[in-house]
Amino acid sequence: KAGVTQTPRYLIKTRGQQVTLSCSPISGHRSVSWYQQTPGQGLQFLFEYFSETQRNKGNFPGRFSGRQFSNSRSEMNVSTLELGDSALYLCASSPGGTTDTQYFGPGTRLTVL
């Protein structure tokens, strides 16, 4: 099976712009979670989608949003970018059961100038 894929791998934006990141889960996986990784804050949970519904959310401002499509692919959007949004954004997929393991993609490196 192919692993979790994320596009693009690298992205450079300027303050005030918006950005959309994409994640394709492992085939058959219905849950997609998003994490932000920064040197200062480490790995922080953004949100999780399961069967096109957000079922869990971390403590991020409303500028961070996401969605999931019927094929389980997910996108996350960040509007009005700030310098502090520069980070590695990781996506993880799992079948969606309570004890299922999350499998991570390689991440999208976002740089905000």
Partner 1 sequence: AQSVTQPDIHITVSEGASLELRCNYSYGATPYLFWYVQSPGQGLQLLLKYFSGDTLVQGIKGFEAEFKRSQSSFNLRKPSVHWSDAAEYFCAVGLFSGGYQKVTFGTGTKLQVIP
| Chain residues in the site for partner 1 (CB under 8 A) | 4, 31, 33, 35, 42-43, 45, 48, 50, 55-56, 90, 92, 94, 98-107
Least gap, CB of 67 to partner 1 (angstroms): 17
Q: Which is nearer to partner 1, 14 or 32 (CB)?
A: 32
Least gap, CB of 58 to partner 1 (angstroms): 8
Q: Which two tokens stand for residue 111?
A: 């740089």
Least gap, CB of 102 to partner 1 (angstroms): 7
Buried-state track 70-109, b at ≥16 Cβ within 10 A, e below 16: eebbbbbebeebeeebbbebbbbbbbbeeeeebbebebbb
Q: Which is nearer to partner 1, 37 or 65 (CB)?
A: 37
Do the bridges between strand 108-112 and strand 10-13 make them parallel or antiparallel, or are there none, so unpaired? parallel
Tell me the CA distances in angstroms from 25 to 1, 40, 60, one per residue in order: 11, 28, 23
Least gap, CB of 45 to partner 1 (angstroms): 6
Q: Does residue 60 contact residue 46 with C-beta atoms inside 8 Å? A: yes
